[in-house]
Amino acid sequence: MINCAGEGRRLGVGKTKALVSVLGRPIIDWHMRMLRDVEDVVVVVGHQAHEVVEAVSPWRSDVIFAINHAYSTTGTAASLALGCAGAQGDVISLDGDLLVDPAYFAGFLAEDTPPCLGVAPRTTTDAVLVEISGVGEHRTANSFSYETGGLEWTGLLRVPAELVLEAHDRHATSGHVFEMLSPHLPLAVRDVNAREIDTADDYDRAVEWIGPIADHWAA
């Protein structure tokens, strides 16, 4: 599930962030390269929907597109809920402004991976932080905060589709995904190597980070 319906206002480039170029490729290209062997891919579009569809279509013809018509008044949780319609089992969700090293993303695809959140050392200007307890493989996320927490939640998650759809039925998906997830904590966490792009400073850091590992996305 790729959630890329938003307008990208904080970045200030006048386009949805999935279309922002990183090393000459829109972010959605990096996603499609990473997901080329994933059977079921849903892309949730809204702002500049036609342009996103055009960017995805050359990669494959079997991608399902869901449209968040209310993208200007809802958060990413609403897009996630739309994308989950009809889904069964677990869904793996990432945002259109998140670049994830494919070597780390592979861990989310494994059949025995439990519901979990992808976390990393803080790099984002407006990070959602996670208070974590436990050690090693037994670590769990216990709360979210903009102010305190040991690691940053990257926006990557694996959860049962039923969890998202039940939240939608309770009208709990109009805001941010972390707000939707909070009642379901604790959840397991997995370390990922990733960069989210919300602001211009985030963009600069992401470009510097991805350069040395760009071949990890090789088609």
Domains and CATH numbers, the chain: 2-217 (3.90.550.10)
Predicted TM-score of the model (pTM)? 0.94
pLDDT per residue over 153-199, tens digit each?
Answer: 999 999 999 999 999 999 999 899 999 999 999 999 999 999 999 99
Asked if 82 and 67 touch (Cβ cutoff 8 Å), the reply is yes
Whether 74 and 174 have beta carbons less than 8 Å apart is answered as: yes
Would you state the pLDDT for residue 9?
Answer: 76
CB atoms within 10 A of CB 121: 10
55-92 pLDDT, tens digit per residue, is 999 999 999 999 999 999 998 999 999 999 989 999 99
Two tokens, residue 11: 């970045």
DSSP one-letter code for 67: E
Do residues 217 and 140 make contact, with C-beta atoms less than 8 angstroms apart?
Answer: no
Integer-rounded Cα radius of gyration of the chain: 16
Query: Cα separation of 67 and 50, whole Å?
Result: 10
Handedness of CA 105, 32, 90, 153 (dihedral sign): positive
Task: Kindly indicate the confidence band of residue 219, based on its pLDDT and cuts at 50, 70 and 90.
Answer: low
Taking residues 186-215, report their average pLDDT. Answer: 96
pLDDT at 7: 86
Least confident interval from 3-12, 63-72, 105-114, 207-216: 3-12
Phi/psi class of residue 134: alpha, beta or left (left: φ > 0; alpha: ψ in -120 to 50)? Answer: left
Q: What is the pLDDT of residue 63?
A: 97
Query: What torsion do the CA atoms of 145, 148, 152, 158 make, to the nearest 10 degrees?
Result: -40
